[in-house]
Amino acid sequence: MQTSLKLTVAAAVLLSLGACASKPKPVAEETAPVEVVDTTPAPTETVEETVVAPTGPLAGSLDDFRVNVGERVYYDLDGYRLDTDDQEILKRQAAWLASYPKVRILVAGNCDERGTREYNLALGERRASVVKDYLVSLGVDPSRIDTISYGKERPIAAGSDEQSWALNRNGFTQIVSGSTS
C-alpha cells in the first residue's frame, strides 16, 4: 500500500506540473475494456437427424480431381518411367475421366533446374507423352488429352535442394474444360 501511495502522489505532482504549463486539457473519457460475459446458455447436446452432406469437394469438380484423384506424378532424376505409385494415380485419373467424359485435360511435363534448358524442354515433352500414353492405354480417348512441355520453366518448389528438385520433376494433369464447377 505504501508503494501505491507514493505513486499516487508522484502522479498528482506530475499532473499539477502539467497543469501549470498549459491549459487544462479535457479529460478523455476512457472506457475500460469490459469482459463481456456470454450469458447465453451453453448449447445443449441435442440429437438431430439430418442427411449426411458429402464431405470435401463436389464430385466431378477441379478440387475433386485434385484432392481425391491426384494431379501429379513424379519422376526420378533424368527419368521418365512411371513407377507403381505413379501408375496408381494415373489409374485413378483414367477412372475419373471415364466418369466425366466431357472433361479435357492438358498434361504438362516438368523438369528440375539441374539440366540445360533445351534438353529439359525435350525431356518434359517425353514425360508428358508417357503420361498421355499410359492414360490412353487405360482407355482414355487420346483426343481428350493435350500435352505441353515446360522444361524447367514451371517449378512448383522454389528451393534448390534434392527435395524441391524431386517435386519439380513431375507430370501435371490439368483439367482444361468439362468439369463441374
Partner 1 sequence: MKRILMALATAFLFATSFALPSAAQLQVRVTDGNFTPTPLAIPDFQISGANAELAKQISDVVRADLTSTGLFEMQNPASFIQKDLSLDVQPRFADWKIINTDGLVVGQYEELPDGKIAVSFRLWDVYAGEVMRINGQPGRRLTTTPDNWRRIAHKIADSIYTRLTGEDPYFDTRIVYIAETGPKLERVKRLAIMDSDGANQQYLTPGRNTVLTPRFSPSAQEITYMSYEGGKPRVYLFNIETGRQELLGNFPGMTFAPRFSRDGQSVLLTQAQRGNSDIYIMNLRTRESRRLTDHPAIDTSPSMSPDGDAIVFTSDRGGSPQLYIMNADGSPRTCPSGGRDAACRITFGKGSYSTPVWSPRGDLVAFTKQSGGKFYIGVIGVDGKGERLLTEAYLDEGPDWSPNGRVIVYFRESRPGAGPQLWSVDLSGRNEQRLKTQTDASDPAWSPLLQ
In the complex, minimum distance from the CB of residue 88 to partner 1, in angstroms, rounded to a whole number: 22
Interacting residue ranges for partner 1, rule: CB under 8 A: 78, 113-119, 121-123, 125-126, 128-130, 132-133, 147-149, 153, 155-156, 158-161
Least distance (Å) between residue 61 CB and partner 1: 23
CB closer to partner 1, 59 vs 153: 153
Q: Which is nearer to partner 1, 64 or 112 (CB)?
A: 112
Please, what is the minimum distance in Å from the beta carbon of residue 100 to partner 1? 22
Cell 511435363, located at residue: 109
Nearer to partner 1, 147 or 170 (CB): 147
Residue 9: what are its φ and ψ, rounded to 5°? Answer: -65, -50
Pure H helices in 35-116: 62-64, 84-99
- Which phi-psi region, left, alpha or beta, contains residue 137 (left: φ > 0; alpha: ψ -120 to 50)? alpha
CA–CA separation, 81 vs 13, rounded Å? 84
Question: Least CB distance from residue 141 to partner 1, whole Å?
Answer: 16
Length of the chain: 181
- Residue of 72, 69, 66 whose CA lies nearest to 150: 72
Nearer to partner 1, 62 or 122 (CB): 122
